[in-house]
Chain A
Amino acid sequence: MIRSVRFTEDLSHLPTHKFGTSSITWWGVIGFMVIEGVAFALTFAAYFFLMGHEQGWPPEGRPAPNVVAGTIFTIVILLSEIPNTSIKKAALAHDVGTIRALMPVMVVVGVVLLIIRAFEFNSLNCLWTDNAYGSIVWALLLLHTTHILTDWFDTVVLYALVRTRQAYEGRRMEDVDENSLYWRYVWLLWLPIYLMIYWVPRL
């Protein structure tokens, strides 16, 4: 039974925000990345599971997807890491000016990517109703489009917020830092999907 307390240490000097593993939202973001990562990994597993049953891939001698749109998409999303890295560094340095200058670039990049993505759907040479191959290829591309769309929306909202005086709150810099971290995840996940959609059928 507790009867009294013994005071040990005063913690009022502790900071009220920190980056990386000290930030609770960083852990939240990592948690949701793992959840999505598992969902993607299992979709990849389903893809190879279905492929393992077939003599040819795509089955029945159908044409593989055209690579042009997907390749342009890959180049653009890889290049987007340049402004993304600058934003991430600026967030760590509390450099609001650079962030306000570069976040619109990321918003535009998102729109461009979504437009290219529409052409990608058009170059798959199959529909999801054709067979299980069509279903899984559409599923991969649709899942990743959802990924792009949610992060794009997140970036728009965050940009609106850093345009206010809230930008000078340290916690907003954590948000910017973690949004950039998430974008890295979006394009990293795209690379295996790109190979699976466009190049595995050509092996």
Chain B
Amino acid sequence: MTSKAELQSIEEENRELEKERAKIARDGPDLTGAALAARLERTWRRPPGIVGWLSTVDHKEIGRRYIVTALIFLALGGALSILMRLQLARPDSNLISAARYNELFTMHGSTMMFLFAVPVMEGVALYVIPLIIGTRNGTFPRLNAFSYYLYLFGGLMLWGAFALNIAPDVGWFAYPPLSGPEFSPGKRADVWAQMITFTEVSALAAAVVLVTTILKARAPGMTLARMPLYAWAMLVVAVMIIFSMPAIALCSSMLISDRLVGTHFYNAAEHGDPLLWQHLFWFFGHPEVYIIFLPATGFVSVIVETFCRRPIFAYPVVVLALVSTGILSFGLWVHHMFATGLPRVGYSFYTAASMTVAIPTGLQIFCWLATMWDGRPRFAVPMLHVVGFIVTFVIGGLTGVMVAAVPLDLQLHDTYFVVAHFHYVLIGGAVFPLLGALTYWYPKITGRMMSETLGKIGFWMIFLGFQLAFFPMHIAGMMGMPRRVYTYPAGLGLELPNLLSTIGALVVALAVLLFVINGVVSLYRGAIAPDDPWDAASLEWATSSPPPVYNFAHIPVVESRTPLWDVDGELPVVTGLRVDDKEQLLTTVVDAEPDVREPIPEASPWPFISAVATGVLFISSIFSPWAIPVGAIPVAIALTAWFWPKDMKRQPEPVII
């Protein structure tokens, strides 16, 4: 199969390539400063124009798009909540019909969970992680681009369906039999299930990118024991995504097949079981909550460290708390199903497990408090959000421990008490730290500072508005108001809590609007940000604001947990990466010893084209099962073109084009 002539010509070629290899330009003491920056800029910038825009594989560009898209979906989902609150402001209101109200809460929940919360956390990570661990790009950058476009198409499909009046109306967890073929004819439930497929494939792809980036691309010397806590949090989260999201992809595929080709997975009349859905859904759904919450704890650790000017107290405890929260979150799902009837031992086990998860979370909170106690806190806007987070999240955590007790849960199940609880943990636990983190990294991303005054006003508005909106829901729930009702009769004492909630929701909406205004205005009017405006410790602040397309001119070396505080202005670096092609340094998993010089794929339109082909397959399979075998052909072609080398000529050192 290999002729002698071929082997000979290969050997000759190898000798030629060896000679050329010696001529490759690399960074080092002889090539540094402005000359190096100019060469790297030439090598790394993406092609111009719309095709270049769609072909980009820069983690910063993809991360920014993720964040902006997710914030737009936050605004859309928030607008729906305002509509619901206006409807509920008064008893017996006729503003919105019962059927439309079903669509609103389904769209609100689905948008917030699948199109805002998870993607925004991934987007921030895709932007920040390669910088904070000191590398030039995420690994698998084309997969990264693919994941963004799938997410975008999934969101456009859901909101397109809403505009066309075929929005899902079966709740964000779409329980059969309600969502099954018998009780939900038409395509509404299928739109929901296929939105799931889009966002889950996208989230899984992004999770693989994050895990491999964090494990393999850290700067030399950044051992696991020196890794920033935000990277630890995202590592745990990405592994959790990998273990949990297949569950919902599987159960929503089974739902589609029940509806489209007549399987009976959830049909009790034909030996199926609707409870199978609940098990599979919550096997994903419970870890999902921590997938949203743990990135926020990473933000908090970073912000507390920077604004208290002290390394986080008891770093190993925080790491162990992150890991154990991740593991425990897979043992809790049945507490969402207490009302379905369980064996006695099941009640006890899942109550105990649900209460246990409060322990690592509590440990993290005490570590942050100890850091603040021992440090010198500066209450800038990001730090204010952290304080707001701790107060609000602790209240939400306590109501969580309350509903972990079965007798109380059976009383409060499906009431507004639960609505209050999960908004306390999700908005308090994730959105407050997110707003803090966006303020914190805004200068790095844009090169400008956000307005401190507007930020402080916005913080107090959202913090107080939030308490006004959601605290009364505890009361309404204990008075027996069920969730998901489009109205309630007068005279039950529900008028006041509901009116207060509506006023609070409007304040929260104004605060978010203020945040957006601050973000947009600061883009043009904000003070120019220096490289390290907060005097922080981690590597993303060692490069310019905004970072150049190649992130770091020389790859930094890490010698401690808080590198920038310990190097006294002189950053140790390694050299020898080529500058005429995109190259990245891979290191070993535990000790971060330099291991391989890895070529980074060039920009390519194929991830976008593959995502379009995949999107066509997903959307058309709502209507016909044949869409899957037929639609798989363009997907296979696009993926092959993505992988196939565009130039078969052998290079002195590998390139990916």
Contacts and interface: CB of A to CB of B under 8 A. Distances in A.
Given A22-B596, A101-B1, A165 B574 contact: no
Contacts of A9: 220, 557, 574-576, 594
A147 interface: no
A136 interface: yes
Contacts of B588: 22
Interface in B539-571: 542, 554, 557, 564, 567, 569-571
Interface string A1-18: 111111111111111111
Contact of A50 (B276, B599, B636, B650): B276
B289 to A, nearest CB: 18
B654 A97 contact: no
B264 A131 contact: yes
B2 A97 contact: yes
A100 B7 CA distance: 14
Given A16-B598, A165-B650, A28 B140 contact: yes
Contacts of B324: none
Contacts of A72: none
A31 B242 contact: yes
Contacts of A168: 10, 14, 650
Nearest to A98: B1
Interface in B1-34: 1-2, 6, 10, 13-14, 26, 28-29, 32
B561 to A, nearest CB: 17
Interface string B613-652: 0000000000000000000000010001001110010100
B41 interface: no
Interface stretch (B70-78, B164-172, B204-212): B204-212
Contact of B643 (A10, A138, A157, A164): A157
A33 B460 CA distance: 47
Nearest to A135: B263
B653 interface: yes
Interface string A79-109: 0000000000000000011001100000000
Interface stretch (B183-191, B267-275, B309-317, B490-498): B267-275
Contact of A1 (B14, B29, B569): B569
Contacts of A12: 26, 575-577, 597
B168 to A, nearest CB: 23
B271 A53 contact: yes
A37 B334 CA distance: 22
B262 interface: yes
A10 B573 CA distance: 9
A12 B577 CA distance: 6
B631 to A, nearest CB: 14
A21 B588 CA distance: 8
Interface in A58-91: 59
B272 to A, nearest CB: 4
A196 to B, nearest CB: 16
Nearest to A18: B596
A139 B254 CA distance: 9
A199 interface: no
A31 B250 contact: no
A24 B212 contact: yes
Contact of A42 (B2, B263, B283, B569): B283
B247 interface: yes
A132 interface: yes
B643 A42 contact: no
Contacts of B143: 28
Contacts of A96: 1-2
B279 A5 contact: no
A27 B140 CA distance: 11
Given A128-B262, A164-B648, A18 B212 contact: no
Interface in B436-459: none
A165 B10 contact: yes
B591 to A, nearest CB: 13
A42 B249 CA distance: 11
Given A11-B575, A166-B648, A31 B212 contact: yes
A18 B264 contact: no
A108 B262 CA distance: 34
Contact of A27 (B216, B273, B597): B216
A97 B1 contact: yes
A108 B279 CA distance: 41
Nearest to B29: A7
B246 interface: yes
Interface in B223-253: 242-247, 249-250
Contacts of B140: 24, 28
* Residue among A14, A18, A49, A165 having the largest count of chain B Cβ atoms under 10 Å: A14
A14 B2 contact: no
Nearest to B265: A135
B281 to A, nearest CB: 11
B571 A6 contact: yes
B564 A11 contact: no
Contacts of B576: 9-14
B654 A31 contact: no
B10 A5 contact: no
A2 B485 CA distance: 57
A2 B654 CA distance: 33
B283 A53 contact: no
A27 B587 CA distance: 13
B585 to A, nearest CB: 7
B414 interface: no
A144 interface: no
Interface string B392-429: 00000000000000000000000000000000000000
A131 B271 contact: yes
B530 interface: yes
Contacts of B216: 24, 27
Interface string A118-148: 0000000000111111111011000000000
22 contacts: A1-B532, A2-B531, A2-B542, A5-B570, A6-B570, A7-B575, A9-B557, A9-B575, A18-B596, A24-B212, A24-B216, A28-B143, A31-B208, A34-B242, A49-B279, A50-B276, A54-B271, A129-B264, A132-B267, A135-B254, A139-B257, A168-B10
For the complex of A and B, 10 pairs with smallest distance between CB atoms: A12-B576, A100-B1, A132-B272, A135-B263, A39-B246, A31-B208, A11-B576, A97-B2, A132-B271, A38-B246
Interface of B: 1-2, 6, 10, 13-14, 26, 28-29, 32, 139-140, 143, 204, 207-208, 211-212, 215-216, 220, 242-247, 249-250, 254, 257-258, 261-265, 267, 270-273, 276, 279-280, 283, 530-532, 535, 542, 554, 557, 564, 567, 569-577, 585-586, 588-589, 594-599, 636, 640, 643-645, 648, 650, 653-654
Given A2-B531, A53-B273, A130-B270, 14 more contacts: A2-B567, A2-B569, A7-B573, A7-B574, A10-B28, A12-B597, A35-B242, A38-B242, A50-B272, A50-B276, A131-B264, A133-B271, A157-B644, A166-B645
